[in-house]
């Protein structure tokens, strides 16, 4: 199995979209600061993942989630439940655009 996933930074409230073959190991790498982009935003929480039969399917869905319409879909259908739970637990602020998102505009 291959996975596409969405992480939320508990520090800066940004979302990170990725794909991997080993979800547990990848989340561990993110939270150990071994991934360059996510290191300044530790700690990370897994808010959604989907399983795919092939690496191509997982990568294609990751690329879709990084698009404008994919982000809208992710916020509305995949992340909203996690955000509601976070606000109920005292989270302040909603997810922000990442540095990479700002460069694409």
* SS3 label, residue 94: coil
- Domain 2-104 of CATH type 3.40.1440: yes
Tell whether the torsion through CA atoms of 37, 43, 48 and 50 is positive or negative. Answer: positive
Q: Could you read off the pLDDT of 25-43 as tens digits, one per residue?
A: 999 999 999 999 999 999 9
Q: Could you read off the pLDDT of 35-82 as tens digits, one per residue?
A: 999 999 999 999 999 999 999 999 999 999 999 999 999 998 898 876
Q: Could you read off the pLDDT of 4-33 as tens digits, one per residue?
A: 999 999 999 899 999 999 999 999 999 999
* SS3 label, residue 92: coil
pTM: 0.80
Q: How far apart are CA 86 and CA 55, in angstroms?
A: 31
């Amino acid at each position: 199995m291959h996975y596409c996933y969405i992480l939320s930074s508990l520090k800066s409230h940004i979302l990170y979209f990725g794909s991997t073959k080993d979800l547990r190991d990848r989340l561990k790498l993110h939270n150990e600061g071994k991934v360059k982009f996510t290191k300044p935003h530790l700690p990370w929480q897994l808010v959604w993942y989907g399983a795919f039969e092939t690496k191509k399917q997982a990568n294609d869905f990751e690329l879709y989630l990084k698009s404008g319409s994919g982000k809208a879909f992710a916020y509305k259908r995949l992340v909203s439940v996690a955000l509601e739970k976070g606000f109920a637990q005292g989270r302040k602020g909603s997810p922000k655009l990442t540095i990479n998102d700002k460069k694409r505009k």
